Structure 1
Amino acid sequence: MENLVVWQDSGMPTVSEINAKCQDSGHSVEFDSTIEMFNHTGYLPAKLDGHETGFEFYYLSKDSPDLIELDPYFKDSQGVMSVTRGDFRENLVALIFLQAVSQLTDGAYLGLSFDIAKNSADTPGYLQSEIEGMRVEVEREERKAAERLERQKARSETEGPPPLHSEQKAAPKSKGSFWSRLFGLDQ
C-alpha cells in the first residue's frame, strides 16, 4: 500500500521530532534518530512495542515529479510516502509515522491504494481510526501465532515430532485381475 502525507509551508520534521510526537500521542514506537529524512530513501527501521519492524519511506521534495504527476496542485508541496507490503505491524508503524508527520506539518493524507484524500484538518483523526483498526489486526495476528506455538508445543510433548514421511504399508498380495479371477487363471 502506498500512503502519502503532503504539505506546503513547513520543512521536513526530524526523526527526533517524529519520535517525540509519536510518544506524545501514546504510541510506543521509535525510529532510528541517526537517519536524516531528506537523504533517506528505502527501508526505514523502527521499533514498535519492542519489536523490530519498518517500512519503505520516500521523501518527496518540492517540485517532485512524483507529486506533480499525482496532481499539478502539488507543484509547491513536499511530502513523505510510505510503502507497505501486507505485514500488519509494518502497516501500523507506517500509519503512526504518517500521523506524526501530518501533525507536525499540518499535512493532508492521500491513500493511493484506495483513492482516499483527507484534508489537513481531518488527517490526524482519520489516521487515528486507521491506527486503531490496524492495532486490532496486529493483536489478532500475535494471538494466532501464540496459539499456534502452544498447539505445536502440546503436540510435541505428547506425540513427539511429526514424521517427515508417512509410513507406507506393504501392498496386499494381488489376487489377479478381475478377468483372471473370473476364469480361474490366477490359481
Structure 2
Amino acid sequence: MSKKIKNVFEKIRKKINEKGFDNIQLGAYLFISSLLVVGAIYGIRAIISNGKTAATRMQVDKLVTIARNYGSVNAGQPNGTYYGLGSYVASGYVPGSTSSLPENYTASGVKNPWGGFGIITNAVNGNPYMFSVSESGLPEDACSQMANYYSLTYVASCSGGVLTLTGE
C-alpha cells in the first residue's frame, strides 16, 4: 500500500514539474514577492530606528541622572548647585576613580547609536543652578520625538539634529 501511495505522489510531482508557470502567473508571483521584500526591509529599518531612539533615550536619562546627582551632592555651594559640573565631566571617565560617569564617557561625551555625542554642561545662560544635556547627530524625526517626550519635565528643544534639555 505504501508503494502505491508513493507512486501516486511521484506521478503528481512529475506532472507539476512538467507544467511550469505561464508569463502572467510568473509576473504576479514576482510582483507579490517584491512587495513582501520591500515591506520586510521597511519594517526592519523601523525596528532599528526605534531601537536606536530607545537606546539614546536611556543614555539621556543616565546623563540627566549624573547631573542631578552632582547637583544633590553639591547643593548649597556658594557658587551654585551645578558649579564645577562642566569641569567634572570635561575630562571624561577616569579609570579607578569614584566618578559616576559611564566608562565610555570621553572628553567629547558619550557616543550615541547614530554616531553623535551626548554631553553634560553646567551654567546654562550663566546660571550655575541649571544644567544642560545635549545629544548630537540625531535624525530630525528621532530628535523631535525625544524633544516631545522630555518637554514635560525639562526645557527641551531640537535643532539641526541636536537635542538639548535644560533642567534645574
TM-score, normalized by the shorter chain, greater than 0.5? no
Please state which structure has a larger fraction of its residues in helix: 2
